[in-house]
Structure 1
Amino acid sequence: MADKKTTPEPSGLEPGPPAYNSDESDGSTRHREVYAYTEDRKIGITGAVFLILNKMIGTGIFSTPSGVFAATGSVGISLMLWVIGGILTMCGISVFLEFGLAIPRSGGEKNYLERVYRHPKYLATCVLASQMILLGFSSGNSLAFGRYVLFASGSESPDGWAARGIAVACATFATFLHAVAPKWGLRLINVLGVFKVVILLFIVFSGFAALAGHRRVPDPDNFSNAFRIEEGDGYGNGGAYGYATALLRVVYSYKGWENANYVVGELKDPKRTLSIAAPLAVVGVTILYVLANIAYFAAIPKGQLATSEALVAGVYFRNMFGDNAGTRVLPVFVCISNLGNVLAVSFAHARLNQEFAKEGLLPFSRFWASNRPFNAPAAALFLHWIVTVIVLVAPPAGPPTISSSICTPTPAPGSSRLSAPASSTCSGPRGRTGRRRGTRTCPFRSCISWPMRSCASCPLSRRRARRIRMDTRTMFSLSWVSAFCCSVPFGGCAGPRFGRPSGGTRLWRKGSTTSKATKLSGTRRLAREDMSDQ
């Protein structure tokens, strides 16, 4: 007898014809959308590297070194913190690679937390959704783009509604490009990624020239007795709070290393691409960050560096190349860097929002999960755009620190979110071989990150001069905690009742006595089967 040929059922990662599902409760027929992408739309190793680079390299390396040195008061310790930040990032990459290679599906830590934290059902998904949708906006880099555009044009007041208007235009451009022409969006991300690397290499090599004595200012002599802790005007004597805050700033500058995990379903040969691109990008960024900080210390005196705040790179260019370079050339570089970050964030976070909609956790889930009409998550991109614009426009006119703090929330929630999978793998379930799944770097990252956030959450009383900024950032942290508390009952009971998964399966029916409100969707069930086979 001839073997019977069976046609595999199309999934969210394999191309196939449209499928239809008939609901027995009302007899209606609904279209089940198939999420498939042609090979020319998929991302290779180079594209994945630049997708990570564009999110990691934003405004952090051009502004954060000032705050790190001001908190520590030591050149050597500041450089050590940047190295530690790279090591922590590599620890996070090792954990996400383990999960990403076992669950090669888009969604990132959504799939990983669902696999580990199974009870109460939907709790981990709802908590993650509350943070990623409400706080996963692109407002910070969009606003920085608007400010630097005005600064480069010679505007005397680069803050205010003009900067916000340009920021809205930047976010709109990124959303429209990814929704209408996704291929060109990826190409632009690659081009801007190359440009960012060139900018940092230019800073690094000019730093070598500064070490050789080629600068427009006297030798700052920052490397003699580099590990000495000094106290000066605006820097030093930070204590435990200062060191924890400095390390949080460094970790925040490395943020974005998990970007490729959100779009694993759109990678060519996902396991090979992810295992090569993620470590390559993180190691490259770590080397560039450390060398860029050495360049800053080679050309900027300590007092000037501590008070420069967001204009560290501008002061560096002025000390190296004169006033015109610091006031005209650098803002253009930073603008391009910010645009690349906005493009990378909107591309990845839209895919994550779409995964939440596929689970039926959002109102009108079928709309937010749709890939029509350009085979791109236009609706999910629109959701990301809505939150970004609200955060840009909602804050009242006032001091620049208020809008900056609102558009750039504290990194503690994001650090907690990324540390949760690392904590889980330390005591995760055993596979079929009896070996406990987990990497040896998990305890290091977890033991460092939790005390670090505890120290940073207890500011010293002498920091009252920064009360407005600190209270604003704390407000966003508390808002995330409130969303967490609201998600506890929401995740266990009411989560799936909001809508239907895009696959067409209704998770809850009126009058049903079964536990269909907690029934697993296809994506989650397949992910757990993959992990159980390990």
Structure 2
Amino acid sequence: MKRQLKLWDAVMLVMGSMIGSGIFIVSSDMMRNLGSGYWLIAVWVITGIMTVAAAISYGELSSMFPKAGGQFTYITEIFGRMTGFLYGWGLFAVIQTGTIAAVAMAFGKFTAYLVPALNDSEPIFQNGGFKITWVQILAIIVILLLTFINTKGVKNGKFLQNVFTASKILALLGIILFGFLLIKDSQWASNMSFGWNAFQDFGNEVGNNLLPTNWKSISGIALLGGLAAAMVGSVFSSVAWENVTFVSGEIKNPEKNVVKSMVLGTSAVMVLYLLVNLVYLNALDRDGIAFADKNRPAVAASEVIFGNIGTVIMAVLVMISTFGCINGLVLAGSRVYQTMAKDGLFFKSAMENNRHDVPEKSLWMQGIWASVLALSGQYGDLLDMISFVIVLFYMITVFGVIYLRFKKPELERPYKTWLYPVTPLLYLFIGSAFCILLMMYKPQYTWPGFLLILIALPVYWFINRKKS
């Protein structure tokens, strides 16, 4: 691999991979689970601390193993091939490809704001509950287009990533600025009037929309469950920063630049996320956030800020955001499957580079499977299950920092985790609380993800049996 990515490129990859569609959508569900501006802000702050703590901890591993594959490489080096394969399997099966499909579908759905015919037209095919729509076709076209562009060399992918990430950062800053300057009737006081009292209301479903019914006060166990459920959205919106570790083999001076990009990128994104949610709380009342049309509080807030043209402004912003996000995910994910193939844990053809020095076959495998998930319409259900699994693998990797300090203290560490052991322990504490609460109060978010990963065990045994 040629080292063609500078620190700026790496930071743009971190930020571009993180900022997709989640920040424009998930706050509705979070508000329905907690019902208070205080709690909405608190969950985003907790998620921000958690995310930056993980990035700081990962930095030590990235400096020790500065090669392609990132998290897969770290897990394999520390805990062995089987654990690494379980992670890689989950990444290919749904974590990376399912996220690509979901973000591509968000691109299609927001494009439909500008081209209503996409929503209004009849399904291309329908059989019972299964149907293929023009929005799905557009999503697949975007996936395959970005896959094709990335097969032509890392410079093409880098250029797209930098342009689209810079564009969406500037657009978000604009929304944040105007969200405070142009609001005539601020809802801030009413949203914060509930203090630390928490409420839940999941409304009545009417068509594709939820309408408020009656907010119910919650505390104790119900509040803990609400916090865990709310964090599913904020955590999902804050993942994928580790994608930069997947391309460590193509980053200049990776021992320093990978950790710098992760810490700078995650910190900047979490500040942006918090500010965007402050705009929601300023522009919309509690019901306006929780029951925004089609769970899109960003569109509702934009309409309040800019009037009727707000829908168009937000649609364009989300299209830019999701397009750049997909590109980052496509660029980075293929490097993991290539590394797995070199370790004998994936299709052999995935390890080959084309004449542009990129893993073309690995890119197409990823793109085709992501397209299948988009076509199936099941990616949304799968993604509900994987926030738990993603955090679980984050915890395993962060624990690896502590494990190696005891097991192999003699290994060279060009970068050491800041405030060790407080930083990794802080992440492990928050992550453990999140996972335990989900298992106790929202099991539908946990056991399906476990099953998805456990399916990989017989595959791993078959591969190793065949080799031996």
Q: When the two structures are superposed, what TM-score results if normalisation uses the length of structure 2? A: 0.85
Does residue 411 (structure 1) correspond to residue 393 (structure 2)? The answer is no
For residue 268 of structure 1, the aligned residue among 240, 243, 252 is 252
Q: State the match for 2:267 in structure 1.
A: 283
Q: State the match for 1:190 in structure 2.
A: 162
- Which residue identity does 2:426 align to in structure 1? F
- 1:129 positional shift: 2.0
Distance 1:352 1:65 in 2: 31
Q: State the match for 1:144 in structure 2.
A: 106
Distance 2:175 2:75 in 1: 39
Q: Which moved more, 1:156-165 or 1:257-266?
A: 156-165
Q: Are the aligned partners of 1:123 and 1:487 in contact in 2 as well (CA < 8 Å)?
A: no
Residues 385, 68 of structure 1: alpha-carbon distance in 2 compared, 3 angstrom cutoff: same
Q: State the match for 1:324 in structure 2.
A: 309
Distance 1:448 1:219 in 2: 28
Q: Secondary structure at the match of 1:362?
A: coil
Q: State the match for 1:307 in structure 2.
A: 291
- Which residue identity does 2:266 align to in structure 1? V
Q: Are the aligned partners of 1:350 and 1:381 in contact in 2 as well (CA < 8 Å)?
A: yes
Distance 1:50 1:353 in 2: 22
Question: Which whole-Å deviations, capped at 9, do the CAs of 1:180-227 have from their partners, x for residues lacking one?
Answer: 2431221011000101111210121122225xxx33787763234543
- 1:427 positional shift: 3.5
Distance 1:407 1:244 in 2: 16
Question: Which whole-Å deviations, capped at 9, do the CAs of 1:331-389 have from their partners, x for residues lacking one?
Answer: 111111111111000100011111011112223x1x21110232211111011012101
Q: State the match for 1:432 in structure 2.
A: 410
Q: Secondary structure at the match of 2:432?
A: helix
Q: Secondary structure at the match of 1:449?
A: helix
Distance 1:331 1:434 in 2: 48
- 1:127 positional shift: 0.9
Distance 1:220 1:154 in 2: 36
Does residue 391 (structure 1) correspond to residue 350 (structure 2)? The answer is no
Q: Are the aligned partners of 1:85 and 1:251 in contact in 2 as well (CA < 8 Å)?
A: yes
Bigger Rg over Cα: 1
Distance 1:286 1:150 in 2: 28
Distance 1:61 1:268 in 2: 31
- 1:269 positional shift: 1.3
Q: Are the aligned partners of 2:104 and 2:322 in contact in 1 as well (CA < 8 Å)?
A: yes
Residues 253, 124 of structure 1: alpha-carbon distance in 2 compared, 3 angstrom cutoff: same
Distance 2:283 2:262 in 1: 32
- 1:487 positional shift: 5.2
Q: State the match for 2:24 in structure 1.
A: 62
For residue 379 of structure 1, the aligned residue among 356, 361, 369 is 361
Distance 2:273 2:225 in 1: 23
- 1:482 positional shift: 2.8
Q: State the match for 2:329 in structure 1.
A: 345
Q: Are the aligned partners of 1:123 and 1:490 in contact in 2 as well (CA < 8 Å)?
A: no
- 1:157 positional shift: 4.1
Q: State the match for 2:147 in structure 1.
A: 175
For residue 437 of structure 2, the aligned residue among 444, 455, 459 is 455
Q: Are the aligned partners of 1:126 and 1:487 in contact in 2 as well (CA < 8 Å)?
A: no
Question: Which whole-Å deviations, capped at 9, do the CAs of 1:507-532 have from their partners, x for residues lacking one?
Answer: x5xxxxxxxx5xxxxxxxxxxxxxxx
Does residue 123 (structure 1) correspond to residue 88 (structure 2)? The answer is no
| Pairing 1:89-104 to 2, within 5 Å after superposition | 89-104=51-66
Question: Which whole-Å deviations, capped at 9, do the CAs of 1:109-135 have from their partners, x for residues lacking one?
Answer: 1221122213xxx21222122111111
Residues 353, 403 of structure 1: alpha-carbon distance in 2 compared, 3 angstrom cutoff: closer
Residues 336, 286 of structure 1: alpha-carbon distance in 2 compared, 3 angstrom cutoff: same
- 1:176 positional shift: 0.1
For residue 85 of structure 1, the aligned residue among 47, 54, 62 is 47
Q: Are the aligned partners of 2:86 and 2:453 in contact in 1 as well (CA < 8 Å)?
A: no
Q: State the match for 1:446 in structure 2.
A: 428
Distance 2:426 2:188 in 1: 39
Q: Which moved more, 1:100-109 or 1:180-189?
A: 180-189
Distance 1:306 1:416 in 2: 28
- 1:313 positional shift: 0.4
Distance 1:277 1:432 in 2: 26
Q: Are the aligned partners of 2:61 and 2:401 in contact in 1 as well (CA < 8 Å)?
A: no
Q: Higher relative contact order at CA 8 Å, sep ≥6: structure 1 or structure 2?
A: 2
Q: Which moved more, 1:220-229 or 1:376-385?
A: 220-229
- 1:444 positional shift: 1.8
- 1:391 positional shift: 0.8
Q: Secondary structure at the match of 1:441?
A: helix
Distance 2:302 2:230 in 1: 24
| Pairing 1:346-361 to 2, within 5 Å after superposition | 346-361=330-345
Aligned length: 433
Q: Secondary structure at the match of 1:360?
A: coil
Q: Secondary structure at the match of 2:352?
A: coil
For residue 370 of structure 1, the aligned residue among 343, 352, 368 is 352
- 1:245 positional shift: 1.3
Q: State the match for 1:227 in structure 2.
A: 196
- Which residue identity does 1:64 align to in structure 2? V
- Which residue identity does 1:423 align to in structure 2? F
Q: Are the aligned partners of 2:389 and 2:450 in contact in 1 as well (CA < 8 Å)?
A: no
- 1:92 positional shift: 0.6
- Which residue identity does 1:133 align to in structure 2? F
Q: Are the aligned partners of 1:116 and 1:424 in contact in 2 as well (CA < 8 Å)?
A: yes
- Which residue identity does 1:486 align to in structure 2? P
- Which residue identity does 1:424 align to in structure 2? G
- Which residue identity does 2:10 align to in structure 1? A
Q: State the match for 2:208 in structure 1.
A: none
- 1:475 positional shift: 7.7
| Pairing 1:509-520 to 2, within 5 Å after superposition | 517=468
Question: Which whole-Å deviations, capped at 9, do the CAs of 1:457-502 have from their partners, x for residues lacking one?
Answer: 3446xxxxxxxxx96x6685254233244356357x43xx4xxxxx
Q: State the match for 2:128 in structure 1.
A: none
Q: Secondary structure at the match of 1:221?
A: helix
Q: Are the aligned partners of 1:222 and 1:302 in contact in 2 as well (CA < 8 Å)?
A: yes
- Structure 2 unaligned segments of length 5 or more: list them: 124-131, 202-211
Q: Are the aligned partners of 1:220 and 1:302 in contact in 2 as well (CA < 8 Å)?
A: no
- 1:329 positional shift: 2.0
Does residue 165 (structure 1) correspond to residue 146 (structure 2)? The answer is no
Residues 329, 456 of structure 1: alpha-carbon distance in 2 compared, 3 angstrom cutoff: same
Q: Which moved more, 1:383-392 or 1:153-162?
A: 153-162
Residues 487, 412 of structure 1: alpha-carbon distance in 2 compared, 3 angstrom cutoff: farther
Q: Are the aligned partners of 1:164 and 1:393 in contact in 2 as well (CA < 8 Å)?
A: yes
Q: Secondary structure at the match of 1:392?
A: helix
Equivalent pairs: percent with the same residue?
20
Distance 1:479 1:433 in 2: 36
For residue 68 of structure 2, the aligned residue among 96, 106, 116 is 106
Q: Are the aligned partners of 2:16 and 2:161 in contact in 1 as well (CA < 8 Å)?
A: yes
Distance 1:406 1:454 in 2: 20
- Which residue identity does 1:310 align to in structure 2? N
Distance 2:326 2:355 in 1: 23
Q: Are the aligned partners of 1:168 and 1:389 in contact in 2 as well (CA < 8 Å)?
A: yes
Q: Are the aligned partners of 2:89 and 2:453 in contact in 1 as well (CA < 8 Å)?
A: no
Q: Are the aligned partners of 2:438 and 2:446 in contact in 1 as well (CA < 8 Å)?
A: no
Question: Which whole-Å deviations, capped at 9, do the CAs of 1:297-319 have from their partners, x for residues lacking one?
Answer: 00101012111263110000111
Distance 1:242 1:478 in 2: 21
